[in-house]
Structure 1
Amino acid sequence: MAKTPATPPRRSASTSLASPAPRGPLPSTSETSYHKRLRSILLDHKKCRKEWNELVIRGCLARTRAAIELWSDIENGLKVVNSKKGGQSSAVRAGYLFAQSARLSEQLATINAVVSSLTDLVATMSQLAERAEALTVEAAKTRGTVFAFRDPLWVTWPLARFADGLQDQTTPYLHSLALIRSLLDTLTTFPPLPSSTSPASSDPTASTPPEEDKARPRPKPEELQAAMSLLAVQPLIPGKGGEGPEAWEEVMSVEVGGWNEGR
């Protein structure tokens, strides 16, 4: 007679596949000035990253597209004027081209202002990263190296890890700013624009460009398309699944007490 197989022992609670519950965040009543100052730095950096995205998308990208469309309109208009010089119709077209050229100049000025704002944002991010580093050094001196480099601040991360991470989050924006400047230099390179203040104001094709403008022809369509694509995707800032802003935000929402209550 076959033996009845023994009943396997039940899995005890200690061998459950479920991950152990994480350590809860430090109560707000137990926070020190280091907790509060670091959280303020981290939230200010978050604000800068948000403003960066808005400026790149609504500022650089949208304004550059508008500038390219304006130039295309001007270029087509110049061809028509060149083929049909003289008469009232030509004068009307010239006036239209002068107006479009003025609009293009305004767009280019706005793009330059956006780049200036991006530069200020990157400078602020760098200053915030430096403040976090200085806060770590201060904490090590006043509270000891264990507090600064080993003890969890809220959940599991020590103060020093936040400072290192903030610097890692800032560096891609420094590199991206340099790339944006290079891309805009390609995208906004236009031949001299018709000007109603030129000596031959009745002829939008009669202005004499400076020598440096003559040496910079309009980039080829494929170069413009590639530059616009890079401007849109911001390849130097890590995306989802990497070590970029989205992953950092997820970690901060867990590791920083009061994160979702911040500004």
Structure 2
Amino acid sequence: MSKRLASFHGPSTPTSSPISQVKKSVTPASPSRASDVSIHRKFRTLLHELRSIANTWDDIVLVDGLKTARTLVDSRTELDNALAMVPAGTQPRSVMVSPKLDVMDECITLLDSILVKLSKLLRRMSTVLDNMEALMFEAERLKGFQWCHEEPLWVSWPIEKFVLSLSELTTPYHRSLALHKELVDALRSHTVSFEDSRNAINQWVEQPFLRDDGWDAKWEDLCEAEVEKWDTR
């Protein structure tokens, strides 16, 4: 056994040298190219955020707001019709009046909260536009004046044209918000006529200031044509 164990102390058999692997050199992306990608990605994200704000605006106005306004007008009309059936010289029962008044008051409260939501959306829109302008100045610092003012960001519009044109986007939404406030004030009064109420609801739905200058009317198709990977999420 000692001879067998002694064999473990002998010189080890040399092994063949491992095959050296050639490492492929990786060329890092140039800072200029990296900044291009970052600017494009950030600006596209801001455009998507503007679209999201505009879509949320329409959802609030045309779904929540419209439902609430119609409930208010319907409740008021139902109460007027019920009161018209009360015999002359008698007082309507509170069980007839109070529930309808409660519904109407709740609707008015909801409409006020909708105006608050729209105001917040408008502030968000302004913030996004400010961020776009800041990104343009950053791009000018990194890429130069000519790149921002002449080079297409994707297809044909340079970043400056996007920023300057989009700066007008808040104007129709400001006007639309002012109109919605007027309509809520008109519907707030329990003495408003059915005809005036119907006209108010029609204007609520039409959103006339957004018909030609809102996001869908003016910007969605343009972004589809000018922004690469516009609908890629």
Bin the TM-score by the shorter chain.
0.7 to 0.9
- Distance in 1 of aligned mates of 2:87 and 2:122: 46
The two structures have a TM-score, normalised by structure 2, of 0.77
Q: In the alignment, residue 232 of structure 1 is paired with which amino acid?
A: V
1:36-75 equivalent positions in 2, closer than 5 A: 36-75=41-80
Q: Higher helix fraction: Structure 1 or Structure 2?
A: 2
Determine whether 1:219 maps to 2:192.
yes
**Which position in structure 2 is the counterpart of 1:108?**
108
- Distance in 2 of aligned mates of 1:129 and 1:175: 18
1:1-263 equivalent positions in 2, closer than 5 A: 31-81=36-86, 83=88, 85=90, 93-190=93-190, 218-239=191-212, 245-262=216-233
Query: Deviation digits for residues 51-72 of structure 1, max 9, x if unmatched?
Result: 1111111122221111011012
Number of residue equivalences: 201
Query: Deviation digits for residues 21-41 of structure 1, max 9, x if unmatched?
Result: xxxxxxx98942111111111
- Extract unaligned runs of 5+ from structure 2: 1-32
- Extract unaligned runs of 5+ from structure 1: 1-27, 191-217
- Distance in 1 of aligned mates of 2:215 and 2:52: 15
Query: Deviation digits for residues 64-111 of structure 1, max 9, x if unmatched?
Result: 11101101222333444573637xxx6xx4213212221222212111
- Distance in 2 of aligned mates of 1:42 and 1:105: 38
Q: CA deviation at 1:222?
A: 3.9
Contact 1:67 1:188 in 2 (8 A): no
Percent of aligned pairs sharing the same letter: 26
Contact 2:172 2:214 in 1 (8 A): no
- Distance in 2 of aligned mates of 1:142 and 1:29: 11
**Which position in structure 1 is the counterpart of 2:11?**
none
Contact 1:122 1:170 in 2 (8 A): yes
Q: In the alignment, residue 209 of structure 2 is paired with which amino acid?
A: L
Query: Whose radius of gyration is greater, 1 or 2?
Result: 2
- Distance in 2 of aligned mates of 1:52 and 1:63: 15
Q: CA deviation at 1:145?
A: 0.9
Q: In the alignment, residue 167 of structure 1 is paired with which amino acid?
A: S
Q: Over aligned residues, Cα RMSD in angstroms?
A: 2.4
- Distance in 1 of aligned mates of 2:142 and 2:189: 55
- Distance in 2 of aligned mates of 1:186 and 1:243: 24
- Distance in 1 of aligned mates of 2:216 and 2:165: 11
Q: CA deviation at 1:247?
A: 3.6
Q: CA deviation at 1:175?
A: 1.1
- Distance in 1 of aligned mates of 2:214 and 2:97: 48
Contact 1:169 1:245 in 2 (8 A): no
